[in-house]
């Protein structure tokens, strides 16, 4: 199956620092999604990207869809303690299959020290 390689696996940062994580694939995708999962909760969509080269922001979060359509990054600026969680990249169904059928990366565990 199509695998998403997400890095880093975990990050330990100080409050106020910026964070960057990325996701790569050997296959071309038409969508990239970034989700956050907090303990005991389901994944929550942060940012959705639909066009190669697209750069989208959501508050302190910025994500870009790589021009080759094989990668994406997520940046968090000025991190705060509530940014703690697991961040997943995901691709959704392409070619007419449901966009709700998601393939997730392995996740990046983010810990923010006050």
Partner 1 sequence: EPEVTQTPSHQVTQMGQEVILRCVPISNHLYFYWYRQILGQKVEFLVSFYNNEISEKSEIFDDQFSVERPDGSNFTLKIRSTKLEDSAMYFCASSEAWYTEAFFGQGTRLTVV
Shortest approach of partner 1 to residue 86 CB, angstroms?
9
| By CB under 8 A, residue 107 contacts partner 1 | yes
Which residues in 85-103 are b (16+ Cβ under 10 Å) and which e? Answer: bbbbbbbbeeeeeeeeebb
Nearest to 15 by CA among 80, 60, 87, 86: 80
Give the residue with the Cβ less far from partner 1, 10 or 16.
10
Of 42-101, binders to partner 1 (CB under 8 A) are 42-45, 48, 88, 93, 96-101
Residues that bind partner 1 in the complex, under the rule CB under 8 A:
37, 40-45, 48, 88, 93, 96-107
């Amino acid at each position: 199956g199509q695998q998403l390689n997400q890095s880093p696996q975990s990050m330990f940062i100080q409050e106020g620092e910026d964070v960057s994580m990325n996701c790569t694939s050997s296959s071309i995708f038409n969508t990239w999604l970034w989700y956050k999962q907090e303990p005991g909760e389901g994944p929550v969509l942060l940012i959705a990207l639909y066009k190669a080269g697209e750069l989208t922001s959501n508050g302190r979060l910025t994500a870009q869809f790589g021009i080759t359509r094989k990668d994406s990054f997520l940046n968090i600026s000025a991190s705060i303690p509530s940014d703690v969680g697991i961040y997943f990249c995901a691709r959704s169904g392409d070619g007419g299959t449901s966009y709700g059928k998601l393939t997730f990366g392995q996740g990046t565990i983010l810990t923010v020290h006050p």
